[in-house]
A and B are shown apart, each in its own frame.
Chain A
Amino acid sequence: MMNNKNTDQKIEDALSSIEGIKRAVPQPYLLTRINARLNQPVKTFWENATVFITRPVILIAGLCLLLTANLFVLVLNTSSLLNPAAERFVNTTADEEEDTASFAANDNFENQ
């Protein structure tokens, strides 16, 4: 009970601690700094793009992406070389499809 009262009092004190607060004032010569900022040359789109691209995170991410793509192609080629049966199956299927297509074409020709 006593503890609750104490906490309530602390909360009230905290809430009223900013009563009569004075305005904070910036450092002197703010206008000079604003004018300096206004006189700064504006960066073009390409300047901003160059800054963005040359950031280490972007460079490393791009490099990783490139390496992953290369690795993917390499794995694909290696697996087809190491497993000729799969290659043969692919070729056979392709041949069969070609035969079916030519047969269908012939059939169509005869029907006409």
Chain B
Amino acid sequence: LDFKNEKILNQSEAELTGQLQRGEQGAFSKAVALYQDMVYNTVLGVIQNEADAEDITQEVFVQVYQSVASFKGDSKFSTWLYRIAITKALDFEKRKKRKKRFAVVQSLFGAKAEAENYPAEFNHPGVLLENKEKAAVLFKALQQIPGNQRIAFTLNKIEGLDNQEIAAIMDISFYAAESLVARAKINLKKKLTAYYQHQSAK
């Protein structure tokens, strides 16, 4: 985005935030229409499941509706939305891990544990057909690196944000964001090396 376009976008964002805070009719629908893809794509990149990503996207907009009045405008509206989306996605992951841990105990008590039948590999719908297989391996490796690195990498590569924007969303310095993306790439390379070496040894 050039400076002029960014200025226009910021103005319209501020205008929309004002409309939302005043509870103007149609403002919420406009916000959903404008930002649904952004929120869904971010959440999908983190949790790698389409049905769950959609569910969390709904949760994000419900929270926006309920707490937009408390939004002070310290950051851009889209930055605030990204933060909510990431927090919700990470919370979901924590819940999922907790459920997995208790599933064994629940099955001992005879209670029907909720099945977490995730497909073995995730295919992002936005990846080109010829790259699907390689991207699935990359997404699998992405699941194995630390959370903050994963978020930074997702925002950078899947959402196409620069380090400045990542820093604003994650509430860290520019250099910290740059370092996170770099470390994510290094760790991904390690995971991919292990994967491909294992594959060739088979």
Chain A contact residues, CB within 8 Å of chain B: 3, 6-7, 10-11, 13-15, 17-18, 20-27, 30-31, 33-34, 37-38, 55-57, 60-61
| Contact of B62 with A38 in the complex, beta carbons under 8 Å | yes
Query: Which 10 A-B pairs have CB atoms at the shortest separation, nearest pair first?
Result: A22-B126, A17-B134, A17-B131, A17-B135, A26-B40, A56-B111, A11-B192, A23-B41, A14-B134, A14-B138
A18-B138, A34-B62, A57-B106 given; A27·B54 CB < 8 A: yes
**How many interface residues does chain B have, given as a range?**
35 or more
A34 to B159, CA, bound (A): 23
| Contact of B109 with A25 in the complex, beta carbons under 8 Å | no
Indicate whether B69 reaches chain A with its CB closer than 8 angstroms: no
Give the distance to chain B from A9, nearest Cβ to Cβ, in Å: 10
| Contact of B40 with A24 in the complex, beta carbons under 8 Å | yes
Give the distance to chain B from A6, nearest Cβ to Cβ, in Å: 8
A30 to B61, CA, bound (A): 10
- A-B CB contact pairs (8 Å), 22 listed: A11-B193, A14-B137, A15-B192, A18-B127, A21-B157, A21-B158, A22-B127, A23-B126, A24-B53, A24-B126, A26-B40, A26-B53, A26-B57, A30-B36, A34-B32, A34-B65, A37-B59, A38-B65, A56-B110, A57-B106, A57-B109, A57-B111
Give the distance to chain A from B163, nearest Cβ to Cβ, in Å: 18
| Contact of A7 with B197 in the complex, beta carbons under 8 Å | yes
Out of A10, A31, A55, which one reaches B33, CB within 8 Å?
A31
Indicate whether B125 reaches chain A with its CB closer than 8 angstroms: yes
Cβ–Cβ < 8 Å partners of A60 in chain B: 109-110
Give the distance to chain B from A48, nearest Cβ to Cβ, in Å: 16
The A-B contact count (CB < 8 A) is 104
Closest A residue to B38 by CB, please name it. Answer: A23
| Contact of A56 with B157 in the complex, beta carbons under 8 Å | no
Give the distance to chain A from B188, nearest Cβ to Cβ, in Å: 7
| Contact of A34 with B192 in the complex, beta carbons under 8 Å | no
Give the distance to chain A from B39, nearest Cβ to Cβ, in Å: 8
| Contact of A18 with B124 in the complex, beta carbons under 8 Å | yes
A17-B131, A22-B126, A57-B109 given; A30·B32 CB < 8 A: yes
Cβ–Cβ < 8 Å partners of B111 in chain A: 55-57
Tell me the B154-202 residues at the A interface (CB within 8 Å). Answer: 157-159, 185, 188-189, 192-193, 196-197, 200
A17-B134, A34-B58 given; A24·B37 CB < 8 A: yes
Give the distance to chain A from B63, nearest Cβ to Cβ, in Å: 11
Closest A residue to B127 by CB, please name it. Answer: A21
Cβ–Cβ < 8 Å partners of B110 in chain A: 56, 60
